[in-house]
Amino acid sequence: MSYSLLDPAICLLIAVALATHGLRRKSLAPSGALAALVVGFLTLTGGTKVFGIALIGFYLIGSRATKYGKKTKARLEEGNHASGAGYRSGRQVFCNSAAGLVAAFLWNAAFAPTSVHARIARAMGADVTMGVFGITSTDPLACPVDKFVGDGWSRALLFAALGHFACCLGDTLASELGILGGTPLLITTMRPVPRGTNGGVSLGGTLASFLGGGLVGLLIGVGLALENWTCGVGVVWTCVGYGLLGGGFGSLV
């Protein structure tokens, strides 16, 4: 029997490893680890690697940023204790991944008929055969973000996931790294406020948000190019561009 990264058993092992890692490093509460296991498995498995790549990238980079300078952040933020910084609950995990998980589930239900997602959808009585979302074209040799694939639904769902994870990582880096920089300005009045104030923005935090979004876009773009030869360099740059927008402006909003 041959295995690939997308085989459910291997994806389950990866999800268990990530959840256990987060629990041991105290970046995840027990409920957060359980939620990460469920979200990780359903995002990793399926017909494309890019959803899982985005999730893993967000988790690893975001967790590292959360731990960075935790003692300084504990002094600046009320209730942010050094021993508990980054201790995410199940609710936080689901909130940070819900939109990406939904996009991954719908994409796999529509475009990967043998996936776990499609089987779950069929078990729930959903029709995931050709015709879901009005799909009329699913050329397997086309890049998944081409406009004509699945009447544009493939592109829309992939970019929805990209935007979600770009916004999440951008906001995480802006919050976790921006607080360590200079004096921020309140977004509504543009007046200086203490570091750690909700709504405060700084040059360092803003740049970090664009960086986070760009990294997610790069990961997804490179992932698409590596798994499908029809996705060229232009697709990579398009993903990076959307990632920058999602990370930078999504964090500001």
Strands (E), the chain: 185-186, 200-201
Q: Is the pTM of this model over 0.75?
A: yes
Residue 129 token pair: 């055969």
pLDDT beyond 60 at 5: no
**Model confidence pLDDT, tens digit, residues 73-100:** 666 665 444 444 557 888 888 887 899 9
pLDDT beyond 70 at 202: yes
What's residue 148's pLDDT?
Answer: 84
In a 3-state reduction of DSSP, which class is residue 172?
helix
Q: Which of 10-24, 111-125, 204-218 has the lowest mean pLDDT?
A: 111-125
Across 203-227, average pLDDT:
92
Task: Find, among 78, 79, 54, 61, the residue nearest to 158 by Cα.
Answer: 54
What's residue 74's pLDDT?
Answer: 61
pLDDT beyond 90 at 150: no
Q: How many CB atoms lie within 10 A of CB 5?
A: 13
